[in-house]
Amino acid sequence: MLHRKIKKKRRGALLPKKGKRKAAKAGSRRSPAPIAPVRLRQELADGRDSQKFHSPYLADNPTSDTPVRSAPAPDAVARILRFEESDPFKVLGPHPARSGPGVIIRAFLPRAAKAWVYPLKGNKEREPMEKICPEGFFQAVFTNADEIFPYTIGTCDQAGFLKEAGDPYAFFPDQLSDYDLYLIGEGTHHRSYEKFGAQLLSLKGVRGVFFTVWAPNAKSVGLVGNFNHWIQGAHPMTRLPFSSVWGLFIPGLEEGEVYKYAIRSAVDGQVRLKTDPYAFGTELRPGSASVVTRLDTFSWSDEAWMAARKQKDLFRSPVSIYEVHLGSWKREEKDGWGFLNYRDLAHQLVEYVRFMGYTHIELMPVMEHPLDESWGYQVINYYAPTRRFGSPRDFMYFVDYCHKNGVGVILDWVPAHFPRDGHGLLDFDGTQIYASGSWRRAEQREWGTLVFDFGKKEVDNFLLSNALFWLDRYHVDGLRVDAVACMLYLDYARQPGEWEPNKYGGRENLEAIEFLKEFNRVVHASFPGVLTIAEESTAWPGVSRPAHLGGLGFSMKWNMGWMHDMLEYFSKDPLFRKYHQGMFPFSTGYAFSENFILPISHDEVVYGKRSLLEKMPGDDWQKFSNLRLFLAYLFAFPGKKLLFMGNDFAQRNEWNSHQSLDWHLMQAPRHRRVNRMLRDLQRLYKEQPAFHEGDCSGHAFEWIDCSDADHSVLSFLRWSRDYGQVLVFVFNMTPVILENYRVGVPRPGHYQEIFNNQASEYGGCGLGNLGGLHAEEAPWQNRPFSLVLRIPPLGALIFRLQI
């Protein structure tokens, strides 16, 4: 957008002289960058005229008797003024005169006192525009023009401010092909983020922004922002032919421009201001406008990581995930703000993650959300990282820095439901186009949100493209899909009478099931090596089995049953644990039915559930011993690992999203020693093949004995994939020292004690087996050899057979 300076010139110097009715042929003005010739629509002039016209830019051999468009009908102008026109190109922009040569240019400029057209071709001078109605409708007639020509429009408002810009209605928004629109309607345009939203581009040499939005039940749609003083109807968009998509190219707009869509509903006639569902950037809350943003200016340097990711078999590799809420991991209370920037977080977080030995960071949702207390799970802008921590390029830096330091990044993704905020997807065009029209299917009363309608292909397309967007533009390594059970079941968190059955009378959401299968098919085909993880809390079968075999197609699933059972067991007084010994063999009954992750997530340390440390029974010594025992069992049991921040140094308080973790506890000996023990467990988990290669395979796990309820002792074996390595795990779930406890083992030799959770370095009592012992040739527990152990109280021991 060009702004004309008026210094050292009298204001009238740019104004036409009195009585001057048309531009002089002699003389020329210096032109800015050339504007592309317009492409005129070949359709009825005013909706009633049976004659069509042809632009000389569309016809190779225009003739002088080509039919031309008529002047606008009064009702067409009135529709523009009332912001009710669905095809403003019929009225605004350049049009051939009704008869003979000549061009008419019309514009709606509600803030302009005066306006001019500046031809950019030939020697034509500016032409004053006639204000044909007080609301700001202007028109200029070029009687001697024999074809449509490129131009800009200059305006002068009541304050004397002059501005010059290209005319949006000289550029028909045809950047979406018929094939694009077909794929979107079919739900298979997996790169729709390259077409929708605010796309910075150049049309035949003219820079600007092309806006596109889906609003099938809108009567009219317009753009509002600082560029037009937020006047509704100042920039009406056009409905693209035979579609529910609206578009407009505005020349001169640049990155950083804020905007919203003004949508007048055809249902109730009301105008709603909506953020762009495809916006790449947003204002910082409480602002809710979208921001024109480029994503192609960041220089990535993670090529080696991305290439290696395609080849890695994560099912047979160690996967240890650190779940993080960026707003409360660490805070710096400067000027009352507190949040760290993505770049600062990258350096501090990666340093800690590498120190601890985690393989991945899982971020609670970073997509833009208005309410801090939602932790990001009530998303408004699915394509924009939240501004709380910086810009989109800052977040790219975060991911890139993680990759350069060997750390993967997984994002929590929320395709199940969306919030009711007025500027979001709710009643987007006056109707529920993103949710079902039936409240029995739309409302998620437990969270006060609305469930996406997976029966609409445009909604599926929006969500599938969003998943690919984060993998493509931000190089993330996985998506943890939130609230899968809410998607699978129509009666989830609903009482009888509050839900509608599917077409077969069942409670399964058939459309959501197909969506999840397609999501996994597309993601794994497009980005090999990427993880898709389901947070699914029911017994739905085959969640992590391939879709072509009847599964949902996820890579992995959270083992919610194991998590609930184990936390319940370890919270019990050791005196009564013998009555619950059956929890352990029960958990192995389904441990390999899916590719499981063992999650100790944020949900378990909030809302009165107490911190992991405070869940443990007994005095402080017993609490810390039980916590070390639990963490050791978490790493010993088959399955990938996930720990929420703070659990790895035994934070005593519940998680509070409004403040930093209690990092000062790392200076306290007991907390620091828990942290050290966990680091050593991470190292063993990664270094010992038998510790991780069979996480998703039952052939690598064997119970030695899970039936000794009287002593509350467990023992089992884990093998490497080639059976070359074997580890022996023994757990004492009581605070009693067990002397001369015999455990059967499969092979002779020396068994080295490689881990003891009661080592003095970890804050324990220091009892153990002096670094290891030899197997005796004494059959026990159906094994040909056995070890005679000293098991410390609340002890966890790991032995490795020396080869």
The set of catalytic residues is: 482, 535
Structure tokens of 19?
């009585």
Strands 271-274 and 556-558, sheet pairing = unpaired
Angle between helices 620-636 and 669-687 (to 10 degrees): 10
Report the distance separating Cα 130 and Cα 134, nearest Å: 11
Chain-centroid distance, C-alpha 191:
15
Report the distance separating Cα 139 and Cα 97, nearest Å: 12
The dihedral sign for the CA sequence 415, 542, 690, 630: positive
The residue type of 552 is L
Report the distance separating Cα 762 and Cα 549, nearest Å: 46
Report the distance separating Cα 345 and Cα 342, nearest Å: 5
Report the distance separating Cα 686 and Cα 692, nearest Å: 7
444 touches 483 (CB < 8 A): no
476 touches 362 (CB < 8 A): no
Report the distance separating Cα 743 and Cα 715, nearest Å: 8
- The owner of tokens 């916590």 is 627
Report the distance separating Cα 318 and Cα 313, nearest Å: 10
722 CB neighbour count, 10 Å cutoff: 8
DSSP 228: G
Identify the CA nearest to 72 among candidates 55, 92, 54, 53. 92
Exposure string over 343-358, b if 16+ CB within 10 A, otherwise e? bbbbeebbebbeebbb
Q: Which residues does 595 contact at the CB level (< 8 Å), separation at least 6?
A: 315, 544, 554, 555, 556, 557, 640, 696
Report the distance separating Cα 564 and Cα 200, nearest Å: 49
Identify the CA nearest to 34 among candidates 134, 152, 137, 145. 152
The residue type of 761 is E
428 touches 274 (CB < 8 A): yes
The residue type of 287 is G
476 touches 527 (CB < 8 A): no
426 touches 439 (CB < 8 A): no
* C-alpha triplet 720, 589, 712: angle, nearest 5°: 85
The dihedral sign for the CA sequence 593, 527, 190, 429: positive
Q: What is the rounded end-to-end Cα distance, in angstroms, of the chain?
A: 75
Report the distance separating Cα 144 and Cα 524, nearest Å: 61
Report the distance separating Cα 171 and Cα 474, nearest Å: 32
Identify the CA nearest to 236 among candidates 177, 175, 168, 289. 168
The dihedral sign for the CA sequence 38, 44, 49, 53: positive
162 CB neighbour count, 10 Å cutoff: 17
The alpha carbons of the chain give a radius of gyration, in whole angstroms, of: 33
Strands 750-756 and 796-801, sheet pairing = antiparallel
The residue type of 161 is F
Report the distance separating Cα 789 and Cα 743, nearest Å: 7
